[in-house]
Amino acid sequence: MTLPMDAQLPPSVDQDSALLRIEDLAVSFPTERRTRRVHAVNGVNLSIYPRQTLAVVGESGCGKSVTALSTLRLVPTPPGRYEQGAIWWSPDGGAPKNLLQISEKQIRAVRGGQIAMIFQEPMTSLNPVYTIGEQIIEAVLLHQSGRAGMNHAGAVEIAVQALTDVGIADPSSRLKEYPHQLSGGMRQRVMIAMALACQPELLLADEPTTALDVTIQAQILELLRKLQTTRDMAVLLITHDLGVVAENADVVAVMYAGRIVEYASVHDIFNRPLHPYTRGLFASMPVIGDQRHRLEAIPGNVPNPADLPTGCPFHPRCSDMHGDPPCRQDVPRLVEVAAQHWVACHHADGYKAGQLTRPDVPYRREAVPAS
Amino acid sequence: MFSYILRRLLLMLPTLLGVTAVVFFVMALSPGGVGGSLLNELGTMEANQAKALRDYYNKRYHLDDPIVFQYARWLNQISPLGFEPLDDGTLGAFGFKPPHLGYSFSKGRPVTALYSEALPITLMLNLLAVPIIYTVAICSGILAARYHGKLFDVVTGIGFLALWSVPTIWAGVLLIGFLANKQYFHGFPAGGLSSTMADQMSFLPQWADQGFQRGWLLDRAWHLCLPIACMIYAGFAFLSKLTRGAVLENLSADFARTARAKGVSDRDVLLRHVFRNSLLPLITVAAGILPGLLVGSVIVESIFSIPGMGKLTIDAIYARDRELVLAGTLIGGLLSLFCILLADLAYAVADPRVSYD
Amino acid sequence: MTSASSTIADPPHAGRTSDGRKHRSYVGQVIARTVVRPGARLGLLWIGVIVFCAVFAPFLASSLPLAVKIDGQWSSPLLRHLTPADVIVLVAAPGAIILTLVPRLALGNRLLLWLAVIVVSIPLCFWLVRPPRLVVYDDYRQLAAAGRIESAYYAPIRFSPTDRLRDQPGMKNQPPSAVHLLGTEADGADVLSRMIHAARIALAVGFIATGIAIVIGVTIGGLMGYFSGIVDLVGMRIVEIFAAIPTFFLLLSFVAFFPRNLYIMMVIIGVTGWVGYARFTRAEFLKLRQQDFVQAAVACGLPLRSILFRQMLPNGVAPVLVEASFGVAAAILYEATLSFLGLGLVDEPSWGQMLSAATTASGGFNWWIALYPGLAIFLTVFAYNLVGEALRDAIDPHTNRNNG
């Protein structure tokens, strides 16, 4: 088990426009044997710019959720441990703070107030014994109490406005309802309203639509897009659905076994996928109208994180592998092989000549018209 | 909601019927039958004297009627709608009549009077014990969950289990023997509810010419120390473990994670979000706590000579006093079922997902 | 509540798995996980001590010598005075040990074989073993004092439980000493000896009462869970009736109405305590009935008896095991409490009854009579509770995760 790269990368160039910058993050958990630890996140670098949507794609267990939770320091630290790395957060273009190092009180101010998170299961993510109003108002009062004139009535107004913004009809009577009285789509809207009530600059969305019907899925994603433009908000979107990525993402990071294996703008990823895993993901998507006898799947299974293969973690399943020593011995690092396109594969074009830099893509698409 | 309560109250009737029937028939079918102890003294009398006494008892208390008749007669007596019993023992017209618990032939007093003296005492014991048990158990359960796996958790886990295993009889005997005994430390009274001069004491403690006067309130409290101690120590284990389990489960629940992501402090997550959800199994369990304590108080009352329901019940059973035993079963069963109903209603109030409409 | 029903019981005669590990049935796995825990080990240790005392009580504490040579003749008064009950217990205990070691036999079959051995030995012993009616303990002490005993081997504790020391009237109510390790009682009997023999009563009540309760409870609960409908409806009302009154009240009523007899007490404790087992079994069977392997068994045409006992019961037995351990503890407590209140056995020694003699009418307190019998009850109940807790932790994987 090799530890991720550390001192060889140059410190981040101070590009003051990046909102969030994760550097060499590694998070570990104990295994059953208690002798070794498993690195759920193993040297992750990424950056998000204001109003940008970064999609993190990968299968279950690749470390995407832990990365998002680490941003808010929500990984429980008795079992988990932040082995190394820094998460630089620069709200309002101010001086960056390392979220892993600030005090408990300061991170609580960030949670919900500057960075908000929504989760996969709206059914269980809301507290069943409090009304929706009580839960939203709790968030508001936590972060806005410093404001002059903020009292309970003011918080109610904000809550009503938040519910209206997410498209819930008759918001003032909805405030008195309990979560179990709402449908799944409504609950997710409530979650979004609660997350956005305090005007965060970054929203972490951990598979927000996976548990919902396809039609509701489309509505929720459209809502997120609209809110993003009206509020000048950046989004870290975790998903395993490439269709969602195509419609919503500006930049894509593909994760495998706790590492980022490819990082580029959405156009580059879709038009020119370089990593065999990314290519496998695209190849396994069925296309309507395509004639095939058999769907293409990536052979093999996701490896047990406690028992990763040596060298490149993907090599046992890689159909491009030629049995070359580098794949089996050296862990490939994330290297910039083309303009704003990083990949971690020994056999990628331009890998040997590429530059070892931290991935950083400020690209944003033009505002998508509401459809 | 009202229709639900009404339905539950009505459903209590067959259960109570079943319970009283079972106890009564076991008593009647046992050696000696109903009123067995009354006839103990007959062995020492001459034959015709014994016969006369037996005939008198049979006529007066209907002891020679078939068992089913005796039970039916008792049912008639306690129901507000039935045959009016006349003075000569026969039955009169059918209609509304005041329900009557009967007359205890072993103590020679109406049953209602006996229980109205004994019941408040037992209730007082139990109602003092329950809040103490709950407070200690909930606090220790929350702390054990908060620091789970650490020393506090392990120590309280094993400690409470050990306390639960201590038999009440042993605890009572040891407490009296060592703390209420001239031979050792005479700090507490060995029994009873009040000192002998209690009626003449003032209610509150005061200083008078003779020095510090305890006053009735303090005196009663002093007498209750050991009995209550005996009743509460065993209750911690179960509740504490239940709280710990519920809190642990909820601490890692999704809604707790959402609350933390909102910026709620760990303490508030625990006390406001997690604890409210953990209350629910505690309420369900509360239904069984009071009846369980009623049982415990039987032993405690017996050891500390407190004239409560427990002592009354034991005396009734020894004497095979039909009225007393049936009334005791009825009251005990009623209390248990009421507690279950109250717990269900409290659960509906606490958990908005549950509604009985 | 538990996920016990999600594991399928493996066939009892399975050999080894593909990677060579020895195959264990589900119940075997649970037991293996339990005995690893330190709490269970402590509990089982004490239970072992008590079982040893119970089984070998006549050989541990007796005023009669095991072997004595008088006038050149060897004889064994102790063996001669063994009662049929003693012999049955002496047969049953090693029988249990032998049966655990016999390989390739299912757990259920072993249990049935053991019960069969006991049932056969009961009439045999009553027919063959005839101890003399009258026992005079003083005889051998007088003989020893007169110097007529050439050599003798005694039990470690030289007093029988019913030996009231009539030849030593000053020995009543004595605190612990070198001769009487835990002191004597009000009538002169040795406390330690009575405690060892009382272990037998406590364990007997615990096991037999719980056994009766399990049989009744599992049968009713299983039938209710499997058949549902009218059977379930009627059964639930019966369960409610027995559950509405606290067990102790019911127990008190029943025990007071019947003559004082050990076996009647066991039956009564068993008959009043079956409710918990019925509820658990019903819940498990309701869950299991929906599972595919049961439906497959029904579709294959297996007889009902086979489905209930060989398919469903081994999978649903886990919570019953937990409850059984706590049940034995509760039964021992009940017996002690009833004996304390004077409703228990008269002649045979019982821990609870000894405890009631601690405070005398004159206000004196014999601390050794309060401390030691109470301690025995406490340790035994605690041991069973520890084992029950360990079983519960071994069965529920959620608890495992939280403890890690």
Q: Which of A76, A142, A191 sits opposite B264 (nearest CB)?
A: A142
What is the mean pLDDT of the segment spanning C152-164? 82
* The pLDDT value given to residue A9: 52
Distance from CA of B235 to the nearest CA of C (A): 15
Decide which of B84 and B258 is more confident. Answer: B258
* The pLDDT value given to residue A53: 93
Structure tokens at C402: 């939280």
Decide which of C124 and A368 is more confident. Answer: C124
Residues A156-171 pLDDT 10s: 999 999 999 888 989 9
Report the percent of chain C where pLDDT is more than 70.
Answer: 90
What is the mean pLDDT of the segment spanning B203-231? 76
Quickly state the pLDDT bin for B26 (edges 50, 70, 90).
confident
Quickly state the pLDDT bin for C375 (edges 50, 70, 90).
very high
CB-neighbour burial class of residue C239 (10 A; exposed 0-12, middle 13-18, buried 19+): buried
Among C253, C272, C343, C380, most B C-beta atoms within 10 A, so best to mutate, is C253
Rg value, chain B, Cα: 26
| Residues of B whose CB is below 8 A from C246 | 291-292, 294-295, 332, 336
| Length of chain A, in residues | 371
Among B153, B250, B254, B258, most A C-beta atoms within 10 A, so best to mutate, is B258
* The pLDDT value given to residue A259: 92
Tell me whether residues B314 and C252 touch, CB distance under 8 A.
yes
* B260–A contact, CB cutoff 8 A: yes
Quickly state the pLDDT bin for B44 (edges 50, 70, 90).
low
Burial A43-68, CB ≥16 within 10 A → b, else e:
bbbbbbbbbbbbbbbbeeebbbbbbb
Decide which of B136 and C96 is more confident. Answer: B136
Structure tokens at A182: 């709402």
Distance from CA of B134 to the nearest CA of A (A): 21
Q: Which of B238, B276, C238, B212 is nearest to A128 (CA)?
A: B276
Structure tokens at C160: 């029988």
Among A73, A127, A191, most B C-beta atoms within 10 A, so best to mutate, is A127
Q: Which of B169, B329, B336 sits opposite C337 (nearest CB)?
A: B169
| Residues of B whose CB is below 8 A from A194 | 258, 262
Structure tokens at A270: 């879709």
DSSP state of B90: -
Rg value, chain A, Cα: 21
* The pLDDT value given to residue A192: 92
Of these ranges, A345-354, B235-244, C208-217, the one predicted with the greatest mean pLDDT is: C208-217
* Measured CA angle at A354 (ends A350, A360), to 5 deg: 120
Residues A173-199 pLDDT 10s: 999 999 999 988 899 999 999 998 888
* The pLDDT value given to residue B261: 93
Residues C194-226 pLDDT 10s: 999 999 889 989 999 999 999 999 888 888 888
Tell me whether residues A119 and B257 touch, CB distance under 8 A.
yes
Least confident piece of the model among B13-17, B213-217, B225-229, C391-395? B213-217
Cα distances from C62 to residues B259, C78, C162, in angstroms, run: 69, 7, 9
For residues A22 and A45, give the distance between their C-alpha atoms in angstroms, rounded to a whole number.
5
For residues C9 and C313, give the distance between their C-alpha atoms in angstroms, rounded to a whole number.
10
* The pLDDT value given to residue C403: 37
DSSP state of C357: T
Identify any residues that bridge with C61 across adjacent strands, giving them in sequence order: C157
Residues A205-236 pLDDT 10s: 999 888 888 888 888 888 888 888 888 889 99
For residues B170 and B248, give the distance between their C-alpha atoms in angstroms, rounded to a whole number.
34
Cα distances from A323 to residues A304, A315, A347, in angstroms, run: 22, 9, 11
Cα distances from B3 to residues B6, B8, B10, C339, in angstroms, run: 5, 9, 10, 46
Q: How much is the mean pLDDT over chain A?
A: 85
* A144–B contact, CB cutoff 8 A: no
What is the mean pLDDT of the segment spanning C357-382? 85
Residues A39-56 pLDDT 10s: 899 889 999 998 899 999
For residues B346 and C233, give the distance between their C-alpha atoms in angstroms, rounded to a whole number.
26
Q: Which of B258, B273, B352 sits opposite A119 (nearest CB)?
A: B258
* The pLDDT value given to residue B303: 84
Tell me whether residues B23 and C336 touch, CB distance under 8 A.
no
The ranges assigned to domains in chain B are 14-96, 111-203+215-350
Query: Is pLDDT above 90 for C19?
Result: no
Structure tokens at A366: 């033009």
Quickly state the pLDDT bin for A14 (edges 50, 70, 90).
very low
Least confident piece of the model among A94-98, A291-295, C87-91, C400-404? C400-404
SS3 C11: coil
Among C249, C340, C368, most B C-beta atoms within 10 A, so best to mutate, is C249
Tell me whether residues B295 and C248 touch, CB distance under 8 A.
yes
What is the mean pLDDT of the segment spanning A357-369? 74
Structure tokens at C248: 């102790």
* The pLDDT value given to residue B14: 82
Decide which of B201 and C369 is more confident. Answer: C369
What is the mean pLDDT of the segment spanning B125-149? 89
* B225–A contact, CB cutoff 8 A: no
Cα distances from C262 to residues B207, C55, C93, C258, in angstroms, run: 57, 17, 20, 11
Distance from CA of A114 to the nearest CA of B (A): 10
The ranges assigned to domains in chain C are 1-9+24-61+179-404
Query: Is pLDDT above 70 for A109?
Result: yes
Query: Is pLDDT above 50 for B147?
Result: yes
Q: Say how many C-beta atoms besides its own lie within 10 A of residue A294's C-beta.
A: 5
Q: Which of A112, A128, A178 sits opposite B262 (nearest CB)?
A: A112
Residues A135 and B352: beta-carbon distance below 8 Å: no
* The pLDDT value given to residue B140: 92
Per CATH, the number for B111-203+215-350 is 1.10.3720.10
| Residues of B whose CB is below 8 A from C371 | 174
Residues B246-271 pLDDT 10s: 998 899 899 999 999 999 998 999 99
Cα distances from A360 to residues A13, A54, A265, A363, in angstroms, run: 11, 11, 10, 9
For residues B306 and C191, give the distance between their C-alpha atoms in angstroms, rounded to a whole number.
30
A76: closest chain B residue by CA: B252
* B62–A contact, CB cutoff 8 A: no
* The pLDDT value given to residue A148: 67
Residues B125 and B231: beta-carbon distance below 8 Å: yes
* B253–A contact, CB cutoff 8 A: yes
Three-state SS letters, chain A: CCCCCCCCCCCCCCCCCCCEEEEEEEEEEECCCCCCEEEEEEEEEEEECCCCEEEEECCCCCCHHHHHHHHCCCCCCCCCEEEEEEEEECHHHCCCEECCCCCHHHHHHHECCCEEEECCCHHHHCCCCCCHHHHHHHHHHHHHCCCCCCCHHHHHHHHHHHHHHCCCCCHHHHCCCCHHHCCHHHHHHHHHHHHHCCCCCEEEEECCCCCCCHHHHHHHHHHHHHHHHHHCCEEEEEECCHHHHHHHCCEEEEEECCEEEEEEEHHHHHHCCCCHHHHHHHHCCCCCCCCCCCCCCCCCCCCCHHHCCCCCCCHHHCCCCCCCHHHHHCCCCCEEEECCEEECCCCCCCCCCCECCCCCCCCCCCCCCCC
Residues A30 and A37: beta-carbon distance below 8 Å: yes
Least confident piece of the model among B141-150, C64-73, C357-366? C357-366
Of these ranges, A11-25, A295-309, C370-384, the one predicted with the greatest mean pLDDT is: C370-384
Q: Which residue has the tokens 């032939």?
A: B105
* Entry pTM: 0.79
Tell me whether residues C374 and B158 touch, CB distance under 8 A.
no
* The pLDDT value given to residue A8: 46
Least confident piece of the model among A176-180, C19-23, C73-77, C79-83? C19-23
Torsion of CA C344, C349, C350, C354, to 10 degrees: 100
Decide which of C262 and C378 is more confident. Answer: C378
Report the percent of chain B where pLDDT is more than 90.
Answer: 10
Tell me whether residues A129 and B253 touch, CB distance under 8 A.
no
Q: Which residue has the tokens 């979004």?
A: A192
Query: Is pLDDT above 90 for A254?
Result: yes
Q: Which of C341, A17, C363 is nearest to C355 (CA)?
A: C341
* The pLDDT value given to residue C121: 87
* The pLDDT value given to residue C250: 74
Q: How much is the mean pLDDT over chain C?
A: 80
Least confident piece of the model among B41-50, C7-16, C327-336? C7-16
Residues A360 and A18: beta-carbon distance below 8 Å: yes
Query: Is pLDDT above 90 for C383?
Result: yes
Query: Is pLDDT above 70 for C400?
Result: no
DSSP state of C228: -
For residues C162 and C175, give the distance between their C-alpha atoms in angstroms, rounded to a whole number.
18
Least confident piece of the model among B157-166, B272-281, C249-258, C369-378? C249-258
Query: Is pLDDT above 50 for C281?
Result: yes
For residues B23 and B316, give the distance between their C-alpha atoms in angstroms, rounded to a whole number.
13
Query: Is pLDDT above 70 for C125?
Result: yes
In terms of phi and psi (left: phi > 0; alpha: psi -120 to 50; beta: otherwise), the region of A289 is left
Decide which of C11 and B230 is more confident. Answer: B230
Tell me whether residues A126 and B353 touch, CB distance under 8 A.
no
Q: Which chains, if any, share at least 3 CB pairs under 8 A with chain A?
A: B
Tell me the backbone φ, ψ of residue A112, rounded to 5 degrees: 85, -35
Q: Which residue has the tokens 């009334």?
A: B327
Structure tokens at C309: 């006992």
For residues C247 and C239, give the distance between their C-alpha atoms in angstroms, rounded to a whole number.
12
Residues C199 and C206: beta-carbon distance below 8 Å: no
Query: Is pLDDT above 60 for C21?
Result: no
Query: Is pLDDT above 70 for B111?
Result: yes
Tell me whether residues B22 and C386 touch, CB distance under 8 A.
no
Task: Assign a CATH topology to domain C1-9+24-61+179-404.
Answer: MetI-like fold (1.10.3720)
Q: Which residue has the tokens 């003296």?
A: B117
Distance from CA of B337 to the nearest CA of C (A): 7
Q: Which amino acid is at A240?
A: H
| Residues of A whose CB is below 8 A from B253 | 124
Query: Is pLDDT above 80 for B92?
Result: no
Q: How much is the mean pLDDT over chain B?
A: 81
Quickly state the pLDDT bin for C141 (edges 50, 70, 90).
confident
